[in-house]
Amino acid sequence: MKITIQAQALRDAVNKVLSVVDKKNSRPILTNCLVKCVGQKLELIATDLEVSSKIILNAKVENEGSFCINSKNIADILRELPNEELVMNVDGNNMLNLTCKNINYSLLITSADEFPQLGFQNQNSEFRLKTKQIAHIINKTSHAISTDETRLYLNGIYLQLTDGKLRSVAIDGHRLALLDTNEFIGENKFLVDGVIVPRKGISELKKIADSYPDDEVSISLDDSFMFVNAKNEYFLSIRLIAREYPKYQTVIPSKTTNRFHIDRNAILNAVKRIRILSNEKTNGVKLNIRPGELVISTNHPALGQATEVLPIAYEGKATEIGFNAKYLIEGLSVLNETDVTFEFNNELLPVVMKADDLPEFLGIIMPLKL
């Protein structure tokens, strides 16, 4: 088997699938990527059995075949090669001979028979999404994905078809991010009940969205997996989290009695400044909300205290609410540079964040007792 391809094209493809490779070495074969040559196409496939990735490249192929090669090893080699024509020859001794200009490597390879069989499509449940929509969903909600491995059902983004809109929700017990995608076209029985896409799958979806910024992708689902196809070149298979998602609607206040408006950049930058003197464990800051002004403050017993006053549009009663500054900063950072609205009932109940120019988004932060 002989393959001729540009080193840069192969390097880019290997780098894309490398993040899928099993880092825990639970099965030695999963530290490899599968290289398949069919016609004049080269396929690169990597998996950890939870998320799988496949990229198809154009190449000059003599004699079809397949083999497995250590993913990190080939990535390290390709990183150092010049952007020239690369020739790969497989000999009869389970060796891959790699030549680029006057550079030569002989690499051990493994039989493709040991690599798991993977599927990348369920044609019965396909729908399409613009990559801009995927990027928008991830950018607005992924900050609220939980990192608590004991609550697996919160370790991803929940997708559900609601009133003809694709709703995306992330929640970690301290905050919630919700986004409705209105331009969703198509029906899908799996989305009616909702699916949870895990954090690692979200990261790979973001990679596809970034690689094809002005395109559409085909997405299909079955009981266990989400399959993504970008232009028949870049494929993903993502094992869904097989858990029931919590009733997130119960966290959203049915009505709020108080609200104030403020410039997003003003409060974001102020919280960043005040946070410097906050307690390292709680990141706690206080928002003292009064008619016409917002006082942001913190007090560190060993370092000192900090206060900043900002003008706001507010006419309700004075209220003091504590927050984790990290959650405030992350929640505000996903909003556009415009006015934001904070809605609340009192210092103990969930606080709602909305952006004036992003009506399809809803953010919630739980107050912190200080």
- What is the reported pLDDT for 185? 65
Q: For residues 285 and 59, give the distance between their C-alpha atoms in angstroms, rounded to a whole number.
A: 57
Burial class of residue 369 in the structure, from the number of CB atoms within 10 Å of its CB (0-12 exposed, 13-18 middle, 19+ buried)? exposed
The radius of gyration of the chain from alpha carbons, rounded to an integer in Å, stands at 25
Cβ atoms of 132 and 158 within 8 Å: the answer is no
User: Looking at residue 20, what is its pLDDT?
Assistant: 94
Q: How far apart are CA 134 and CA 209, in angstroms?
A: 6
Supply the range of the domain harboring residue 295: 252-365
Residues 132 and 197 in one domain: yes
pLDDT of residue 348: 95
The two tokens of residue 226 are 């989400």
Residues 132 and 234 in one domain: yes
Does 128 share its domain with 243?
Answer: yes
What contacts 60, CB < 8 A, 6 or more positions away?
3, 4, 5, 40
pLDDT of 194 reads 93
Q: Per the domain annotation, does 46 fall within a domain?
A: yes
In the block, tokens 């909300």 appear at: 289
Running along the chain, 370 residues long, what does each successive block of 10 average in pLDDT?
A: 95 95 84 95 96 97 94 96 95 90 95 93 83 96 95 96 92 96 76 94 96 93 94 96 95 95 97 96 95 97 96 95 97 93 96 93 94
> Token digits for 240?
């869904």
What CATH number should be reported for the domain holding residue 207? 3.10.150.10
Note whether residue 266 is domain-resident. yes
Question: Residue 197 in 3-state DSSP?
Answer: strand
One domain, residues 258 and 359: yes
CA 267 to CA 289: how far, in whole Å? 12
Tokens 């209220």 correspond to what residue? 319
Residues 179 and 293 in one domain: no
Q: Does 69 map to a domain?
A: yes
Write the single-letter amino acid at 84: E
Q: What is the pLDDT of residue 50?
A: 95
Q: Into how many domains does the chain fold? A: 3
Quick one: 235 and 129 in the same domain?
A: yes
